[in-house]
């Protein structure tokens, strides 16, 4: 196989993993003019997704996809990535000059070392987006950042592919990949948990459509936070309103016990403490106000105990 990085034109792309990410990225690359030569889909759900997003694309075994592709897109779970690459390399399936791209946020190119030893070009390309696996994701890619890691000479290939899919490439150093991924997971996954908890509380008091209540508030909060960072913080914690925080703590503890939703109480305590600490560190909350908030959050501890916590 000749080196595709040395010539212009469209590429033959094989997609291994027709999950929500793989099928969408494959469709985006095909929309950019590349040929998707094969897709690996095992479950009925993934086959249905492949038929919808990659119509007329043959469903093939993994070795056959690798052998006929100039670019292999590995959109598989993190824990499956290294064993898959190791097994394919041991079977002699990779070719010199072949481009191997994985979509894991956690890993850089080191996880592809066995393929690179066979002469393949290793690239990590992680879309910082949550996927539904539906065609609407293609429009979302137009505002998506791709965390790119690749050897210097091949960075332009990764960047060009990200731009062709409508995204914006951002280079992430190999050693920074785990922290990069942790930041995104912390923001995205825990936001879903917080929204779910708030919705459960509102439903519990008879609000029929919690999303109608939370939607405008959360959208405005997110926009303000992205624009202003911690300076966008409002509410009783940053104001030092210990009485309100204590009332929230008590009522949420009662709700959690009644509804067997202890995660709500635990999350509120953890996030309120973290919010107080960050507000104090930037000078928005005084030491005295910080101590009052901590006392309000730890109702079983006395002032002396909380003073010890503050002083640590």
Confidence grade of residue 294 (pLDDT, cut at 50, 70, 90): very high
Spatial distance between the Cα atoms of 179 and 97, rounded to a whole number of angstroms = 30
Spatial distance between the Cα atoms of 66 and 79, rounded to a whole number of angstroms = 20
Weakest mean pLDDT among 3-7, 11-15, 139-143, 237-241? 3-7
List, for residues 101-128, the tens digit of each pLDDT value: 999 999 999 999 999 999 999 999 999 9
Say if residue 304's pLDDT is above 70.
Answer: no
Q: What angle do CA 210, 216, 221 make, to 5 degrees?
A: 115
Q: Mean pLDDT throughout 72-99? A: 96
pTM score: 0.85
List, for residues 259-287, the tens digit of each pLDDT value: 999 999 999 999 999 999 999 999 999 99
β-strand 35-40 against 99-102: which pairing, if any? unpaired
SS3 98: coil
List, for residues 139-166, the tens digit of each pLDDT value: 999 989 999 999 999 999 999 999 999 9
Asked if 262 and 256 touch (Cβ cutoff 8 Å), the reply is yes
Spatial distance between the Cα atoms of 28 and 144, rounded to a whole number of angstroms = 12
Q: What is the pLDDT of residue 310?
A: 35
Percentage of the chain beyond pLDDT 70 is 93
Tell me the sheet residues that pair with 16. 40, 74
Q: What is the pLDDT of residue 298?
A: 81
Confidence grade of residue 10 (pLDDT, cut at 50, 70, 90): confident
Q: What is the pLDDT of residue 47?
A: 94
Q: Closest Cα partner for 233 from 192, 184, 197, 283?
A: 283
């Amino acid at each position: 196989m000749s080196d595709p990085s040395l010539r212009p034109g469209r590429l033959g792309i094989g997609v291994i993993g027709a999950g929500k990410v793989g099928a969408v990225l494959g469709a985006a690359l095909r929309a950019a003019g590349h040929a998707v030569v094969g897709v690996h889909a095992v479950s009925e759900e993934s086959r249905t997704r492949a038929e919808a997003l990659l119509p007329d694309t043959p469903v093939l075994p993994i070795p056959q996809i690798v052998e006929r592709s100039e670019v292999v897109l590995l959109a598989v779970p993190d824990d499956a990535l290294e064993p898959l690459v190791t097994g394919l390399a041991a079977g002699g399936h990779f070719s010199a000059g072949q481009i191997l791209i994985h979509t894991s946020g956690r890993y850089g190119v080191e996880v592809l070392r066995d393929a690179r030893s066979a002469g393949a070009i290793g690239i990590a390309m992680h879309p910082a987006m949550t996927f539904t696996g539906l065609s609407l994701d293609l429009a979302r890619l137009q505002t998506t950042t791709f965390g790119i890691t690749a050897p210097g000479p091949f960075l332009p290939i990764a960047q060009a592919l990200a731009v062709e899919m409508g995204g914006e490439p951002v280079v992430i150093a190999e050693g920074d990949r785990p922290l990069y991924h942790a930041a995104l997971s912390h923001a995205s996954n825990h936001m879903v948990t917080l929204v779910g908890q708030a919705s459960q509380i509102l439903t519990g008091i008879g609000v029929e459509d919690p999303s109608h209540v939370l939607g405008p508030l959360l959208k405005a909060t997110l926009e303000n936070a992205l624009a202003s960072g911690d300076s966008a913080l409002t509410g009783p914690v940053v104001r030092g309103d210990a009485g309100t925080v204590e009332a929230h703590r008590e009522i949420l503890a009662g709700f959690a016990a009644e509804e067997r939703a202890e995660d709500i109480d635990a999350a509120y305590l953890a996030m309120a403490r973290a919010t107080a600490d960050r507000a104090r560190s930037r000078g928005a909350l005084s030491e005295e106000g910080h101590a009052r908030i901590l006392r309000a959050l730890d109702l079983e501890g006395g002032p002396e105990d909380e003073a010890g916590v503050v002083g640590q």
